Amino acid sequence: MNQNNLFDTSMNRRDALKTMGKAAMAGAMLSTVPGMGEAALSNSDDRPNIIYILGDNHNADTMEFCGHPFIKTPGLNRLAKEGVHMVNTFNTTSLCTPSRASILTGAYCHTHGVKNNHMPWTGNMPTFLEHMSDSGYATAFIGKWHMPGDGLPKFDYLDLFVSYTYREGQGAYFNCPMVVNGKEVASRKPYITEEVIDYAIDFMKDTLSQSKPKPFCLYLSHRPGHPPYQAPKDIDGMYDDADAKSYLPKNVDFWFGRSRQNAYQGYMMGSYYNQYRGYLETLTAMDRDIDRLLDELDNLGLRDNTIVVYMGDNGQMWGQHNCQSIKEPYEESAKLPLIVRAPGYIDEPGTRRGQMALNIDIAPTLLEMAGISKPANMDGESFVPILQNKAVRGRDAFLMEFWRYFPENTPSYVGVRTDRYKYIEFERGRDPWLFDLMNDPKEMNNIYGMAEGQGVLPQMLAHLARLNKNNAKFK
């Protein structure tokens, strides 16, 4: 895996990228479109098209092929059957905005600087989409931006930027006004996932129709499953008879969602079980449109030269540890769904990988697939070698970090997770956590201060010191 510094010290970042992009594209023999139904994008360096799809608050186990008792996800089932399911994938900051910034930049939160849901995009690091654009890719960001600020940021390198500022950037499931390359327009389809996928399909077709089509990199960011939950008419009520009470933790009751540890008190009114059913319905609605996108790739002849990645920004706790939350450093919040369909990289489709992967690994992975070296300021690592060979050893540990912000009551914390153990230090109000995830996967028994924890604590502190060396704790 090539992770050399991309930049010559005599060149600035953008000049270096442009020089590299021109070299990569020199002499490329790009095909014209023979007919939209059978078009295939090809170039002499065989660079693939890339589609990255992001869900919201999608718990890692809430997919049909993972054994969930009643959710239906035929689109994600299909993607997993044709690709690889990365079963140990995590965010490094369990919160929406910081996680999304980490995905775009390939950097820990303390590096990119977007530390909570109230901090706007800093712009102090380029996104992987900018690197793609400078190397000759057509690029698009379509869907939920979900970072605060004065409107949407300006990304001149994007060929298409479709998002929304409605309701402080959270948007709406129905009839959400869109902002297309800086101009607000009415929604064209009533439901938000249909709208996003339609723009994606239009972008692909427009790229193919050019006289010299480029490979494309498309970032699709969905609203499901963020509250308040609403599904299309034919999916609304789909899980009304599902036994949510038996599936959710036994400490959950009808009114559980109104507790102090609920991150969505203003939304979680009425039956908690119905809230969970509504959450599943939004995910099924998103899944249907993901399946439609996969069909369109087949129709356009792009399947064999297009990488498709599905991921969540963070997990969600549905009563585990008496929480309805996304911020606590438990597995249910930190663990993410990640599926990769990458023709040419995976010799055993339908398999799983157990090595740890992170949200900060997305950018370097996609850049490597596009033939672009990892910039020195990215903290993440490409997991392309793991896709190609399931025996490749992954990372041994990663950093977990969180900064408290008003009005949330989860304290700032910093910690480290290995294959077996998790250690967390809190700024105030809590003793440290140390969990043996092999013997205690539900994280019910804190062994910090106990004899069995004392033996492993020095190793965890050494990991933390190594990973946290450039981050002043809790600052």
Would you state the pLDDT for residue 32?
Answer: 32
Does residue 60 sit in helix, strand or coil? Answer: coil
**349 touches 93 (CB < 8 A):** no
Would you state the pLDDT for residue 151?
Answer: 87
Would you state the pLDDT for residue 269?
Answer: 78
DSSP code of residue 294: H
Length of the chain: 475
Which token pair is 381? 């690592």
User: Beta partners for 84?
Assistant: 340, 351
pLDDT tens-digit map of 139-149: 999 999 989 88
- DSSP letters, 202-245, are HHHHHHHHSSSPPPEEEEEE--TTPSSP---TTTTTTTTTS-HH
Of 268-272, 300-304, 409-413, which gets the smallest average pLDDT? 268-272
More confident residue, 349 or 406: 349
The conformational region for residue 109 under phi > 0 = left, psi -120 to 50 = alpha, else beta, is alpha
Question: Looking at the predicted structure, is the pLDDT value of residue 189 above 70?
Answer: yes
Residue 407, preceding peptide bond in cis (omega within 30° of 0) = yes
Q: Which residue has the tokens 């402080």?
A: 168
Among candidate residues 146, 151, 148, 104, the one with its CA nearest the CA of residue 125: 104
| Number of neighbours of residue 87 by Cβ within 10 angstroms | 17
| Domain 411-475: assigned CATH number | 3.30.1120.10
The conformational region for residue 471 under phi > 0 = left, psi -120 to 50 = alpha, else beta, is beta
Would you state the pLDDT for residue 407?
Answer: 79
pLDDT tier at 466 (50, 70, 90 boundaries)?
very high
Among candidate residues 132, 190, 181, 119, the one with its CA nearest the CA of residue 152: 181
Question: Looking at the predicted structure, is the pLDDT value of residue 12 above 90?
Answer: no
pLDDT tier at 191 (50, 70, 90 boundaries)?
very high
Q: From CA 73, how far away is CA 57, in angstroms rounded?
A: 16
Does residue 88 sit in helix, strand or coil? Answer: strand
Q: From CA 266, how far away is CA 271, in angstroms rounded?
A: 14
Which token pair is 20? 């590299």
Q: Where are the domains of the chain?
A: 47-390, 411-475
pLDDT tens-digit map of 77-101: 999 999 999 999 999 999 999 999 9
pLDDT tens-digit map of 101-117: 999 999 999 999 999 99
Tell me the one-letter amino acid at 440: D
Q: What mean pLDDT is predicted for residues 338-364?
A: 96
**276 touches 264 (CB < 8 A):** no
Q: From CA 70, how far away is CA 372, in angstroms rounded?
A: 41
Q: From CA 71, how far away is CA 109, in angstroms rounded?
A: 33
Q: What mean pLDDT is predicted for residues 387-409?
A: 93
Number of helices (H), then strands (E), belonging to the chain: the values are 13, 17
Would you state the pLDDT for residue 169?
Answer: 82
Q: From CA 277, how far away is CA 70, in angstroms rounded?
A: 10
Q: What mean pLDDT is predicted for residues 190-202?
A: 98
Question: Looking at the predicted structure, is the pLDDT value of residue 462 above 70?
Answer: yes
> Mean pLDDT in the chain?
89
Does residue 98 sit in helix, strand or coil? Answer: helix
Q: From CA 17, how far away is CA 25, in angstroms rounded?
A: 12
Q: From CA 458, how far away is CA 475, in angstroms rounded?
A: 24
Q: From CA 190, how far away is CA 176, in angstroms rounded?
A: 8
Q: What is the percent of the chain with per-residue pLDDT over 70, rounded to a whole number?
A: 88
**63 touches 337 (CB < 8 A):** yes
Would you state the pLDDT for residue 257?
Answer: 77
Question: Looking at the predicted structure, is the pLDDT value of residue 19 above 50?
Answer: no
In sequence order, the 6+-apart residues with CB closer than 8 A to the CB of 472 are none
| Domain 47-390: assigned CATH number | 3.40.720.10
Q: What mean pLDDT is predicted for residues 165-192?
A: 94
CA-to-CA separations, 142 to 112, 122, 162, 192, in angstroms, rounded: 22, 20, 5, 11
More confident residue, 323 or 4: 323
What is the reported pTM?
Answer: 0.90
Q: What is the percent of the chain with per-residue pLDDT over 90, rounded to a whole number?
A: 80
Q: From CA 17, how far away is CA 372, in angstroms rounded?
A: 9
Would you state the pLDDT for residue 265?
Answer: 63
pLDDT tens-digit map of 216-265: 999 999 999 999 999 999 999 999 999 999 999 999 998 887 765 666 76
CA-to-CA separations, 253 to 34, 70, 245, in angstroms, rounded: 59, 20, 8
Would you state the pLDDT for residue 76?
Answer: 98
- DSSP letters, 327-354, are -SSSHHHHEE-EEEE-TTT-SSTTEEEE
Cα 259–chain centre separation: 28
pLDDT tier at 266 (50, 70, 90 boundaries)?
low
pLDDT tens-digit map of 377-393: 999 999 999 999 999 99
pLDDT tens-digit map of 24-80: 433 333 333 333 333 344 444 479 999 999 999 999 999 999 999 999 999 999 999
In sequence order, the 6+-apart residues with CB closer than 8 A to the CB of 465 are none
Looking only at the bridges linking them, the beta strands covering 49-55 and 178-180 are: unpaired
